Structure 1
Amino acid sequence: MQTNLADFIRNTQAGQEADSILRSCVHCGFCTATCPTYQLLGDELDGPRGRIYLIKQVLEGKPATAATQSHLDRCLTCRNCESTCPSGVQYGRLVDIGRKVVEEQVPRPLSQRVMRTALKELVPRKWIFRPAMKAGQMLRPLLPKLLQNKVPLPQEAGAWPTRTHARQMLYLEGCVQPSMSPNINSATARVLDALGVQLFAPPKAGCCGAIRYHMNDQEGGLEDMRRNIDAWWPYIEGRDGIRADTIVMNASGCGSTVKEYGHLLQHDPVYAEKARRISHMTRDISEILPEFEEALKHKLKDFNGKRVAYHPPCTLQHGQKIRGKVEGILRAAGVDVQLCADSHLCCGSAGTYSILQPELSYRLRDNKISKLQATDPDMIVTGNIGCVTHLQSGTDTPVRHWIELLDAALQAPS
């Protein structure tokens, strides 16, 4: 694709990156076949090819409009299009650049500004989010259905391992996961403890940066990333008896972002090299456990053929390009794992998308649940807290993180 970027962005780092991405697109249209919003709406401008065209126009100097902003807002950033693009177009990076430029040109209505500011300020701060979630859980029966969907029932975290091990790994607690589903982190720690690995969360680490970065507060998101690097770095070099060789992620949305720290901070003279190393050290829990395949075979108890439908999160299968590992791990535990039809499609959670675009989000959720239920599962499992909560709001079938299932298998009596 030929480009002629406007002066305001041509010689900037963002402009140079956008120009390279735009030039790699050949407008073949393969991406439209796997775009969830295009499938729902049938509008070219609500598919990747159309959005790329809109971004190109804006970067070449055509003023953005409210319609431009709306089409970009409706993108889930699921990155399914990246998985099907034969030219390797980095659409996720391009849409972040385009959204920021459009945000600067198009003032949002007051209601949108209030909602987006509340999400950016509330969700990444655990000290605000935790009491807010506890209050929501106490008042849950009184809340309207839309709010109930975002407030899961209280869950016990279970025991945290107390043993020390020679091999140590760091992990990111996450913004919402400790309040909404605390057993996920505890289950991860128990599984690794059974395999001789000690898990440690540096206390000053916080939001991975995705919330603010993808809501066009990119500098705020980068500050979150720098804070995490500062929190992790002493324990990478060695402090208080901890010297970690890996950073574990059990929320694929966070993992996808942390793996991009090296790219997002590549021009930061202070953090570029540290960010590159952090990204290199970061691995989803599904990438780690195959290292312990033999140990798992000896420790796992048969699950008596429990039938499970697995939903691969977009941030795992498209963002991190990890496929097949979770299914293999669970099958080793005796679980009958099923993938539903169109397992590549998004469930509609997509971070804050389910709050900002509820109509589309719930249509995608209901489509996904109907296909998951068609496998006749005893349970639905996935690998991201957002997917867990979103799917559970639409079904009575239990929805869990897959690591909780593995933890239960390891804890089962002989």
Structure 2
Amino acid sequence: MQTHFTEADLQKPHLREAERVLRTCVHCGFCNATCPTYLLLGDERDGPRGRIYLMKELLESRDDDAEVTRETQTHLDRCLTCLNCETTCPSGVQYHKLLDIGRAEVERRVGRTPKERALRFGLRQALVEPRRFKALLKLGQTFRPLVPGTLRDKMPAKPVEPGKRPAGQQHPRQMLILEGCVQPGLSPNTNAATARVLDRLEIGLMASPKAGCCGAVDYHLNAQQAGLDRARTNIDAWWPAIEDGCEAIVQTASGCGAFVKEYGELLAEDPDYCEKAERVSALAKDLVEVLREEDLEKLNVEASRKLAFHCPCTLQHAQKLGGAVEQVLVKLGFELAPVQNAHLCCGSAGTYSITQPALAHQLRDNKLDALEAGRPEMIVTANIGCQTHLNGAGRTPVRHWIEIVDDALCR
């Protein structure tokens, strides 16, 4: 793609990066064929190619250019950032990097309505602190009829009790775990089940109390510096264990895992953190990356359920681990129902299901139709956002896949 940035423009790092990404696009449109919002809406501006043109026009224009409108912001907001387009793109366009730049720029120029600002600020305050989120969740469950429907659907009536976690210190192999911000409240059994399964494989799992939200919520709501500050806090919290020989940093929410794996790139220009961030990203592993390297016969699993696996976008498109969980589940003896269009997003996409509820519900219902077509007993997934979003429909129960493995352990 031809660009028209001035020499002065290219002195700015974000425009220099934008030009690099734009010049890799060859206008082929293959991305539109796998874009969930384009397939729903049929509008070129709601597909990756159209959004790229909108961002090109935005970034090449002057601050006082009247062509930069709220309509441009609307089309960028509708993007799920599912990265399906990046998986499809034959030219390797790093669309998500351009989108981060474009969203920040249009927000700087156009701003937000008071209602939008309040919602985004509220999400950032409510979701990123586990204790605050648990308190708000408990309050919401107590006064459930008064909670707006978009939020009420995401509140489990009664989460699965976590059960006892093994101490794990007796094992020579030790790994860290990022507990997450909303998962301890919405699905407290997920990390407990992970600890029990890894304990069976003689792997100890330890949490760092000072580590918190991975930073993705802030970063993707255009509070990018706040997101990077959270990344730095986590690096500081994990570093002593890393220096002591910690083998890996396990993520049970694929959305968090995808973001932690980007720490090295996101902090590459920070002289105080660049090397540490790169080391943390190298150690970050989704849970399935750990299990698939182990002797799974040690788990002694009695698998009897028929499952449908929903592979989150952050697992298959961001982390390139599509098929990995399915292979582990089949190896353990579970029967998996076939799922059509497994590459398409369920509509959760971080806070998207709250900021864009109409589109998110359409995508959710389409995804559930595909998952339920094979008549599974249960749907399993690898990301808490997808889990709560799909469960909100009140159809087939949805849980994290490691909980089902834990349930099947012979004790």
Q: TM-score range by the shorter chain?
A: over 0.9
1:82 CA drift (Å): 0.3
Q: Distance in 1 between matches of 2:151 and 2:248?
A: 37
Decide which moves more: 118-127 or 246-255.
Answer: 118-127
Structure 1 counterpart of 2:249, one-letter code: I
1:250 CA drift (Å): 0.7
CA RMSD across the alignment: 1.3
Q: Distance in 1 between matches of 2:37 and 2:6?
A: 29
Decide which moves more: 267-276 or 122-131.
Answer: 122-131
The equivalent position to 2:220 in structure 1, one of 214, 220, 235, is: 214
Decide which moves more: 166-175 or 331-340.
Answer: 331-340
Aligned positions of 1:11-410 closer than 5 A: 11-61=11-61, 63=65, 64-155=68-159, 156-164=161-169, 165-238=171-244, 243-292=245-294, 294=295, 296-304=296-304, 306-410=305-409
Indicate how the Cα distance of structure 1 residues 299 and 129 shifts in structure 2: closer, same or farther if over 3 A, else same.
Answer: closer
Task: Judge conservation of contact 2:137–2:185 (CA < 8 Å) in 1.
Answer: yes
Task: Judge conservation of contact 1:191–1:407 (CA < 8 Å) in 2.
Answer: yes
Percent of matched pairs sharing the same residue? 55
Q: What is the aligned length? A: 405
1:310 CA drift (Å): 0.4
TM-score (norm 1): 0.95
Q: Distance in 1 between matches of 2:84 and 2:356?
A: 18
Q: SS of the residue aligned with 2:293?
A: helix
Q: Distance in 1 between matches of 2:372 and 2:391?
A: 12
1:163 CA drift (Å): 3.5
Q: Distance in 2 between matches of 1:276 and 1:285?
A: 19
| Runs (5+) with no aligned partner, structure 1 | none
Task: Judge conservation of contact 2:337–2:375 (CA < 8 Å) in 1.
Answer: no
1:108 CA drift (Å): 1.2
1:224 CA drift (Å): 0.7
Q: Distance in 1 between matches of 2:145 and 2:408?
A: 33
Decide which moves more: 114-123 or 253-262.
Answer: 114-123
Deviation readout 1:342-381 (Å, 9 max, x if unpaired): 0000000000000000000000000000111111000000
Structure 2 counterpart of 1:356, one-letter code: T
Task: Judge conservation of contact 2:301–2:405 (CA < 8 Å) in 1.
Answer: no
Task: Judge conservation of contact 2:200–2:298 (CA < 8 Å) in 1.
Answer: no
Structure 1 counterpart of 2:190, one-letter code: I
Structure 2 counterpart of 1:93, one-letter code: K
1:153 CA drift (Å): 2.2
TM-score (norm 2): 0.96
Deviation readout 1:195-216 (Å, 9 max, x if unpaired): 0111111111011110011111
Q: SS of the residue aligned with 1:316?
A: helix
Task: Judge conservation of contact 2:261–2:280 (CA < 8 Å) in 1.
Answer: yes
Structure 2 counterpart of 1:69, one-letter code: Q
Task: Judge conservation of contact 2:258–2:319 (CA < 8 Å) in 1.
Answer: yes
Q: Distance in 2 between matches of 1:7 and 1:70?
A: 30
Q: Distance in 1 between matches of 2:168 and 2:184?
A: 21
Q: Distance in 1 between matches of 2:147 and 2:263?
A: 38
Structure 2 counterpart of 1:39, one-letter code: L
